[in-house]
Amino acid sequence: MNGLAALLAAAVLTTAPRLTPPPGPSPLVIRAASRAMQPGELVVLTVSSAASLTAVHARAFNTDITGFAVGQNDPHRWRVLIGIDLDVAPGRHPVVVTASTTAGPLESTYELVVRPKKFPTRRLSVNEAMVNPPPSVQPRIAAETKEQQAIWDAPAPERLWTAPFVRPVPQAANSAFGTRSVFNGQPRGAHGGADFRSPAGTPVKAPNAGRVVLAKDLYFAGNTVIIDHGLGVFSFLCHFSKINVAVGDMVTPGQIVGLVGATGRVTGAHLHWTLRVSGARVDPLALLVLLGR
């Protein structure tokens, strides 16, 4: 046995029982950005690695989320958008991040610690048919619910946006996001969107690029446009007086998709924008802060 072989044999013998770092590419570094870690917030995870990543996925809140590379020519930095739905219970929620590399998969777990948030209750008076719809419109409401669920279940698998998100209207939003609404004295579900105080006729801009997947009058929402931005991100904009786009249209960021109105279950003209991120209802204002211009 020559000197080198003896050395290697000794190395094998001595290293075998020890804990050595696993071979292969360096691990994933995960950073989280958000306004707060609370229900209704968006969390932007940045996943970095010294290795070249070819795909990044995350599993959070029992949902698979597809990530995207931050820059076109940078395989080392990826993002994953995680929505903390309005109804998520406070506590620790693990996010399992997996990345593909030519040398095999990498996995890391990031723990989201969601703090409690108390949303206020608001009392509103609206047309009685919007609180207790007559039996004659029940089939219509059921069909619309089913149609929307089918849309949420089939997002474009690729990212259709690249530019920063923009405000759909120049006016400010009130604090309606997340409030538990009581219509005509009867409690209804949480308000899953932001309401912007815009006068009737204000042009509504597409918050970002995407495909129009619904453009019609819905019973509760009135004239509605849903834009599929891809990777599970949807904008649901409603109460329009006029719709300017049709299903199948590809819209550009800032393109006028309709005009503010007072159709559906409303107390007056305003723009309602619900943002869905992989099924979670998150405050659109959080999106504008984190990924806006």
> Could you list the residues that contact Zn ion (CB under 5 A)?
195, 272
Our CB check for Zn ion shows the closer of 272 and 276 to be: 272
Half-sphere exposure of 160 (CA within 13 A, CB side): 24
Q: What's the closest the beta carbon of residue 250 comes to Zn ion, in angstroms? A: 26
Question: Token match 């005509």: residue?
Answer: 184
Q: What's the closest the beta carbon of residue 285 comes to Zn ion, in angstroms? A: 13
Closest CA to 51 of 31, 70, 27, 33: 27
CA max distance for the chain: 93
Our CB check for Zn ion shows the closer of 144 and 195 to be: 195
Q: What's the closest the beta carbon of residue 272 comes to Zn ion, in angstroms? A: 3
Handedness of CA 235, 271, 188, 141 (dihedral sign): negative
Q: What's the closest the beta carbon of residue 235 comes to Zn ion, in angstroms? A: 13
Q: What's the closest the beta carbon of residue 218 comes to Zn ion, in angstroms? A: 13
Our CB check for Zn ion shows the closer of 161 and 273 to be: 273
Our CB check for Zn ion shows the closer of 57 and 272 to be: 272
Q: What's the count of helices (H) and strands (E) in the chain, helices before strands?
A: 3, 20
Q: Which residues contact 254 (CB under 8 A, 6 or more apart)?
A: 166, 205, 206
- Reduce the DSSP state of residue 145 to 3 states and report it: helix
Our CB check for Zn ion shows the closer of 272 and 281 to be: 272
Strand boundaries in 206-249, DSSP class E: 210-218, 222-230, 233-243
Q: Residue 234 is encoded by which pair of tokens?
A: 């949807």
Q: Residue 121 is encoded by which pair of tokens?
A: 């209750």
Q: What's the closest the beta carbon of residue 194 comes to Zn ion, in angstroms? A: 7
Our CB check for Zn ion shows the closer of 68 and 219 to be: 219
Q: What's the closest the beta carbon of residue 180 comes to Zn ion, in angstroms? A: 13
Our CB check for Zn ion shows the closer of 110 and 273 to be: 273
DSSP for 27-96, written as a single string: --EEEEE-S-SSTT-EEEEEEE-SSPPSEEEEEETTEEEE-EEEETTEEEEEEEEEE--TTPPSEEEEEE
